[in-house]
Amino acid sequence: MLTYDPTDPAVRRDPFPLFRALREADPVHWSPALGGWVLTRYEDVRKATLDPRFSSDRIRPFFRRLADEERAKYPDLERYVTLWAVFFDPPGHTRLRNLMNPGFTPRAVAALKGKIAAIVDELIDRVAARGSMDAIADFAYPIPASVVMVLLGVPRSELDAVKGWSDEMALFIGSSRLSADKYRRAQSGMREMAAYFKQLIAARRAKPEDDLMSAMLRPAEDGDVLSEDELVAASSLLLFAGHETTTNLIGNGLWALLRHPEELRRLRAEPQLIAPAVEEMLRWDGPSHAFVRVMAEDIELESKRLARGERVFAMMNAANRDPAIFADPDRFDVARSPNKHLTFAAGIHFCLGAPLARLEAQIAVARLLERLTDLKLETAEPEWLDSMILRGVKSLGVSFRAR
């Protein structure tokens, strides 16, 4: 019998054969391991992003269900993560998103292009003479982490601290299935991150600078303004989400390219394909494995009754290989067009940072291929993250020659 269990090492390593079987035989699948529904068809996953009966408000109910004694162990996690815009439905989501928008206009993102390129070149300079690197720790992680830190006004000297906080929080946000103490560790990471941002908020109130933190302190046109807790929550969301997924986009993208040398050669020969190549990296083994919703009311889907209060895991990486939408979906094609993947979701929850993530990945991969040659994998089989939500590898050994 088909069953989706993300703790299975084989499924974590390569979930796509199981996704294919589920799409064909049981596209609205009840997973006993998750205690929720698993959607694998493109149209069903897309429906879950657009239909308001699939509610994003899943964190507040989680904390309300905890016993008082247990709930009291995680005060910072509840105080701030429950204010993340991604866990709101309208109108709360609309308000928070509008107040966070200033840093992600096309003009604001385009202005970061030079800074991104400088960060990428600096990281390549550090490893060029070595002839090898961990493509995650030395490259894919520092790029988006540094960019979002520049955006918020966090000094890059805090990079190691940011990684520590984020790694702890990822266990909770990413729905780790193997870490028994994930809530305690996430509470610790959130507490440290909140303390840091309170100091930064105070500094920017006293002396505004040209960064997103200062922009978020300014009232909107209608006079609305983020509260102190909302500022901490928005900043922690941007810092966490702004680099975790883009790290995995770059890492998974390099893993895909190096496993498909013919496509790597094609991209080298036709560098103008970098934009569609990044879209294919987003589709083929995307950094956002799934998103979670809670049913706001009963509905019927594929003859199954999804009851109010039940959790739904909409598997974007399964939807992105649905043959009903994508021709030859298991083929990695850097020139694929059209490519209507769902990696950034859709509708009101379309990823706020999508333009920035695309730009970072395009610059990172293009500069890497320009400056390094003879790229080879030195990791036979990487270790994948223990996460229901995030999809990425922990490390990726790569060798090369500097041009």
**Helix 113-128, helix 354-371: angle, nearest 10:** 40
Per-residue pLDDT, 172: 81
Assess if residue 265 is contained within a domain. yes
Cis peptide bond upstream of 9, omega within 30: no
Assess if residue 144 is contained within a domain. yes
- Partners of 39 in the β-ladder: 28, 314
Assess if residue 3 is contained within a domain. no
At residue 239 the predicted structure's pLDDT band, cuts being 50, 70 and 90, is confident
- Residue 396: closest CA among 132, 13, 167: 132
- Our count of domains for the chain comes to 1
Residue 361 predicted with pLDDT over 90? yes
Residue 105 predicted with pLDDT over 90? no
Per-residue pLDDT, 177: 58
pLDDT tens, position by position, 374-397: 999 998 889 998 888 889 999 999
Assess if residue 2 is contained within a domain. no
For the chain, give the mean pLDDT.
93
Assess if residue 257 is contained within a domain. yes
Give percent helix, percent strand, percent coil of the chain, each to the nearest 5. 55, 10, 35
- What is the extent of the structural domain holding 261? 9-402
Assess if residue 370 is contained within a domain. yes
Please give the DSSP secondary-structure letter assigned to residue 157: G
pLDDT tens, position by position, 112-163: 999 999 999 999 999 999 999 999 999 999 999 999 888 888 888 888 888 8
Per-residue pLDDT, 175: 61
**379 alpha carbon, distance to own chain's centre:** 23
372-401 as b/e, with b when 16 or more CB fall inside 10 Å? beebebebeebebbbbbbbbbbeebebebe
Whole-model pTM above 0.85? yes
Assess if residue 267 is contained within a domain. yes
Residue position matching structure tokens 């000297």:
157
Per-residue pLDDT, 152: 87
Assess if residue 4 is contained within a domain. no
pLDDT tens, position by position, 60-102: 988 988 899 999 999 999 999 999 999 999 999 999 999 888 7
- Spatial distance between the Cα atoms of 403 and 392, rounded to a whole number of angstroms: 28
pLDDT tens, position by position, 179-208: 568 888 889 999 999 999 999 999 999 999
Per-residue pLDDT, 176: 57
pLDDT tens, position by position, 11-33: 999 999 999 999 999 999 999 98
At residue 399 the predicted structure's pLDDT band, cuts being 50, 70 and 90, is very high
Report the CATH number that the domain containing residue 30 is assigned in CATH. 1.10.630.10
